[in-house]
Amino acid sequence: MAKIPHLDGDVCIGCETCTRISPKVFHMVSEHKAAILDPTGDTIEKIEEAMDNCPVACITWEE
């Protein structure tokens, strides 16, 4: 089964790092918030790169 990323919008500060690294998976929904666009839109490695570079660590794999 595909691993599904979860983005906690309450914690996100809208820095746009994830949307730059993996624009098919993450998109900006307002000036200061990102959200998941397509959870399976990129490789696991790319999604993990976005996770690792999120300054507030609000992207996690869904249990």
Under a CB-based contact definition with an 8 Å cutoff, are residues 33 and 13 in contact?
no
The pattern of x and - marking residues 18 through 37 that bind ligand SF4 according to CB under 6 A reads x-------x-------x---
Which of 2, 5, 14, 23 forms a contact with ligand SF4 (CB under 6 A)? 14
Binding of residue 39 to ligand SF4 (CB under 6 A): no
By CB under 6 A, the count of residues binding ligand SF4 is 15
Could you tell me which residues come within 8 angstroms of residue 7 by beta carbon, excluding any fewer than 6 positions away?
Answer: 18, 26, 34, 35, 36, 58, 59
Collapsing DSSP to helix, strand or coil, 8 comes out as coil
Footprint on this chain of ligand SF4 (rule: CB under 6 A): 7, 12-18, 26, 34, 54-56, 58-59
